[in-house]
Structure 1
Amino acid sequence: MSLYILHENDDWMPPLRAALDEAAVPYTEWFVTDGHFDVTSPPPEGVFLNRMSASSHTRGHHVSVSHTRQLLAWLERHGRRVLNGLHAFELEMSKVHQHAALTQHGLRTPATRAVAGGPEAWLAAAKDVPTPFITKHNRGGKGLGVQLFRSYDAFAQAVDAGTIDPPADDILLLQQYVEAAAPFITRCEFVGGTFQYAITSDTSEGFELCPAEACRVDGPTCTVDGDDSLFALRTDVPQDLIAQYAQFLQAERIDIAGIEFIEDTEGRVWTYDINGTTNYSPDVEAAHDVSGMAAVADLARRALKDATAAPVA
């Protein structure tokens, strides 16, 4: 019995491959772009790890999300164990869904307006949105579409200039800007319901903050905990917040995720993003002897053991 990895970005795979090899977990990669599968036949026996990214369209894989949505439904109808299954995937693909779920679980989120349509709809929706606000894509990843506007006029000028990229799902978010006490956000990593560690991400150079090594080839040089570091380990995240996040992930059936929050000038915590296709900073992990992918490999190993012992549908 094998682990099947659903993904569309080979650049993100080396750390996971290395961790699975180290843990002796057998795996097969399922590169999900265009293609086909027989819906009248059962899926292969095994456990499936969903690594499909909300930003897949930025790599030319425009059908990957739709393809994955159908695959996950097929797999789950046949009783296959899917790590980050369809419910988790729908949260991953929609920040509107995320915010509704976070609010339902008592977590503070920024005020957000979802706008369907193009530039005219954006301008109409923004007229009574308090400033400053930020734009972001409902289906984003990597900080796609995030821009800060301190006035409606500045927003209108950007719309007229065509500098706001249209979202992949046609839903643009206008979101309350939270003034941070310091220019960083915090990301808490969880695997299998267990908190792994937290990192801070420096936002002073922008909001595209994927920590994976492959995502910063053309970006600034990062040195861990040094003057040029974008990412650093954080050890003082409140335990009650970690517990609240763990309860949230369990309730929402999310196996693997990084949850991001920001603290404002009054010390309040605002949670704003859940990333199920989580990547890990190799520099931070090397400096502090931690490994998110090792935890993912162990989760896969345990899931395979459970699936082997259970009858197959």
Structure 2
Amino acid sequence: MAELVKPIGIYYEHPDWFKPLFAELQRRNIPFERIDATQHRYNPAEADSPYSLVVNRMSSSAYLRGNGQGIFHTAGYLTHLEQIGVRVINGTVATSIETNKARQLALLASLGLSFPQTLVVNHVSQVLSAAQELRFPIVVKVNIGGAGAGIVRFDTHEGLQAAVETNQIDLGIDQTALVQEYIQPRGGHIVCVETLNGRFLYAIKVFTTGESFNLCPAEICAIPESPSADFCLTEAPKKGIHPGRRAVEAYTPPAQIIAAVERIAKTARIDVGGVEYLIDDRTGEVLFYDINALSNFVADAVNVVGFDPYARFVDYLEGQLEKTLLSENV
């Protein structure tokens, strides 16, 4: 790294989630610069970048913190970086999947993987008719979510109709939503599988009652009580969620599921991220339902999964830096 002249750019929005990443980079004396995605500008005519590579850590839940502008700005900025030859960790393809649940399901379908029965709508007038084609309970999920926001469960058609008639259905910041069958997970848990460089990193079971959607990373989340009340497994010990209470525990999925997750990550071009699935309690079928290009590693990872994922992530970044330096010197 002694030859490194340009710093790594860490493009991020949440003020706290990436402190462990910053600490690991500092520990290794790797030059980096924080790039605030909430208040940012760039020149699309520039032919060179001040960064050796850029790590994209933009969050789809940014709008919950009043930073929704960063979500849409990111697409243009990453496109610009890639066009001038900058290596982007979780680049434009990964971002397009992360910020669009409908695209996630299309990707799963293209790989022949199962997911809950779903219809995608772009107007509230379509919600009731879509639900008529599904089995209740259903959930209505905003297309751009994050932190479990914008997901509402309806147990009956009458309850959904009342919500539509009283203008209580929110289709989110892009006015697109998924109307999807709610699936009761077997064993009372979902599984979050984390990947790095397209390969299995670790997996955890996340236990839930199924009555609320307040665990993240998991689509089984409740709308936060306030825009700042988001919850993440990165803060699990502070919230009283830890393996001793069987809320989170390490798990190794079957080989065929790991292989499927790795196919998803590689197809989505996700350098670091997670895939979530559950087992349908009625049928025993494996159903994938979320792809995260912005997974936050579980808190207290050394005790939960046996190692520090941030150290593995920075190992990967160092490897990408070496490739970048070699290509520049050719």
TM-score, structure 1 length as denominator? Answer: 0.91
For 1:117, the aligned partner's letter is H
Shift of 1:132: 2.1
Q: Are 1:300 and 2:317 matched, yes or no? A: yes
Partner in structure 1 of residue 77 of structure 2: 71
Deviates more, 1:289-298 or 1:67-76: 289-298
Partner in structure 2 of residue 282 of structure 1: 299
CA contact (8 A) 1:34 1:67 kept: no
Partner in structure 2 of residue 233 of structure 1: 250
Q: Tell me the secondary structure at the aligned position of residue 94 of structure 2.
A: helix
Partner in structure 2 of residue 170 of structure 1: 175
The CA distance in 1 between the partners of 2:188 and 2:166, in whole Å, is 28
Q: 2:268 aligns with which of 237, 252, 269?
A: 252
The CA distance in 1 between the partners of 2:311 and 2:234, in whole Å, is 18
Shift of 1:19: 2.3
Partner in structure 2 of residue 221 of structure 1: 240
Q: How does 1:1-313 map to 2 (within 5 A)?
A: 1-42=6-47, 43-118=49-124, 120-204=125-209, 206-210=212-216, 212=232, 220-222=239-241, 224-227=242-245, 229-235=246-252, 237-265=253-281, 266-311=283-328
The superposition leaves residues 131-182 of structure 1 with CA deviations (integer Å, 9 ceiling, x where unpaired) of: 2211111111112222222221111223345544441211121012222212
Deviates more, 1:54-63 or 1:30-39: 30-39
CA RMSD of aligned residues (A): 2.2
Shift of 1:39: 1.1
In 2 relative to 1, CA 173–65 (structure 1 residues): closer, same or farther, beyond 3 Å? Answer: same
The superposition leaves residues 58-112 of structure 1 with CA deviations (integer Å, 9 ceiling, x where unpaired) of: 0100210111111100000011111110011000000110110111112111121
Deviates more, 1:253-262 or 1:42-51: 42-51
Q: Tell me the secondary structure at the aligned position of residue 280 of structure 1.
A: coil
For 1:244, the aligned partner's letter is A
The CA distance in 1 between the partners of 2:298 and 2:235, in whole Å, is 10
The CA distance in 1 between the partners of 2:234 and 2:166, in whole Å, is 31
Q: Tell me the secondary structure at the aligned position of residue 226 of structure 1.
A: helix
Same amino acid, percent of matched pairs: 30
Shift of 1:312: 8.2
The CA distance in 1 between the partners of 2:95 and 2:329, in whole Å, is 23
The CA distance in 1 between the partners of 2:208 and 2:163, in whole Å, is 21
The superposition leaves residues 182-210 of structure 1 with CA deviations (integer Å, 9 ceiling, x where unpaired) of: 22110000011221110111221622322
Shift of 1:284: 4.3
Deviates more, 1:251-260 or 1:203-212: 203-212
Shift of 1:244: 2.1
CA contact (8 A) 1:198 1:234 kept: yes
In 2 relative to 1, CA 226–160 (structure 1 residues): closer, same or farther, beyond 3 Å? Answer: farther
The superposition leaves residues 267-289 of structure 1 with CA deviations (integer Å, 9 ceiling, x where unpaired) of: 22100101111101213433443
The CA distance in 2 between the partners of 1:45 and 1:19, in whole Å, is 18
Deviates more, 1:136-145 or 1:87-96: 136-145
The CA distance in 2 between the partners of 1:216 and 1:225, in whole Å, is 10
CA contact (8 A) 1:231 1:284 kept: no
Q: Tell me the secondary structure at the aligned position of residue 209 of structure 1.
A: coil
For 2:244, the aligned partner's letter is G
The CA distance in 2 between the partners of 1:63 and 1:148, in whole Å, is 28
Q: 5+ residue gaps in structure 1?
A: none
In 2 relative to 1, CA 306–125 (structure 1 residues): closer, same or farther, beyond 3 Å? Answer: same
The superposition leaves residues 232-277 of structure 1 with CA deviations (integer Å, 9 ceiling, x where unpaired) of: 1113x10121122212322331111110000112322100101111
Deviates more, 1:31-40 or 1:98-107: 31-40
In 2 relative to 1, CA 240–61 (structure 1 residues): closer, same or farther, beyond 3 Å? Answer: same
Count of residues in Structure 1 that have an aligned counterpart in Structure 2 = 308
Quick one: higher RCO (CA 8 Å, sep 6+), 1 or 2? 1
CA contact (8 A) 1:261 1:272 kept: yes
Shift of 1:215: 5.3
The CA distance in 1 between the partners of 2:88 and 2:8, in whole Å, is 10
Q: 5+ residue gaps in structure 2?
A: 1-5, 218-231
The CA distance in 1 between the partners of 2:240 and 2:19, in whole Å, is 20
